[in-house]
Amino acid sequence: MWEALHGTTAAVGFHLYLMAQPPGLPERMIEADPDAFFGHFLDTWTHSPDAVPADVRAVYLEACRNAVPSIVADYRASAGPDVAHDQADRAAGNRLSMPVTVLQQDWGAALGYEAAALWGAWAADLRHSTVSCGHFMAEEAPADVATALRELMAR
């Protein structure tokens, strides 16, 4: 994602850059209004406004409020140790030996994120498909996700 999102296309991933900052500031900024922060993604990253019903949204937001330090630490790792590990694996020629399935939301390619090409460099047995939905695939396209999982498990 760090190689794919740059320039104006990176605006959709502003949260990545925020949470990659050293500990303290990102946590304080998000904890100031976590429902607004996480709710932003629920509102803007779905194709359908009713994709995440109010009761599910409430649980999702509560879980996020209770996990801000962990969520930020996960994203921070993606900009530090994870990049170093990926670079070392790439330099060593390491690839994933298991079957891999990648579901890509249809707006991903518009951002310059070509999932098939990126994952193809890591996985010899790759199946890629585009799902017509937003970021929250399990909520917006549960049948597509379930089918992809069943097919992956059968491989």
Domain match, 100 and 87 both: no
pLDDT at residue 108, as a whole number: 63
Please name the helix (run of DSSP H) or strand (run of DSSP E) that holds residue 126, with its range, or none: strand 126-131
Q: How does the average pLDDT of the chain come out, rounded?
A: 92
> Of the candidates 44, 74, 94, which is a domain's last residue?
94
Confidence of residue 6 (pLDDT cuts 50, 70, 90): confident
Residue 70, both tokens: 């962990």
* pLDDT bracket for residue 109 (50, 70, 90): low
86 & 27 share domain: yes
Query: Is the model's pLDDT at 110 over the cut of 70?
Result: no
The pLDDT value recorded for residue 66 is 98
Listed in sequence order, the residues at least 6 apart from 128 whose beta carbon sits closer than 8 Å to its beta carbon are: 101, 102, 103, 104, 115, 116, 119, 120
The pLDDT confidence band at residue 43, using thresholds 50, 70 and 90, is very high
Range of the domain at 105: 96-155
Same domain, 79 and 13: yes
CA distances from 33 to 40, 62, 76, 109, 132 (A): 11, 12, 20, 31, 31
Cα dihedral value 101, 140, 144, 108, nearest 10: -40
Would you place residue 34 in the very low, low, confident or very high pLDDT band (cuts 50, 70, 90)?
A: very high
Same domain, 113 and 130: yes
Are residues 62 and 4 both part of a single domain? yes
Least confident of 4-8, 15-19, 70-74, 88-92: 4-8
Q: Quick check: 75 pLDDT over 70?
A: yes
Q: What is the pTM of this model?
A: 0.87
Contacts for 69-76: CB closer than 8 Å, 24+ residues apart: 69/27, 71/19, 72/19, 72/23, 72/26, 72/27, 72/30, 73/23, 75/15, 75/16, 75/19, 75/20, 76/19, 76/20, 76/21, 76/23, 76/26
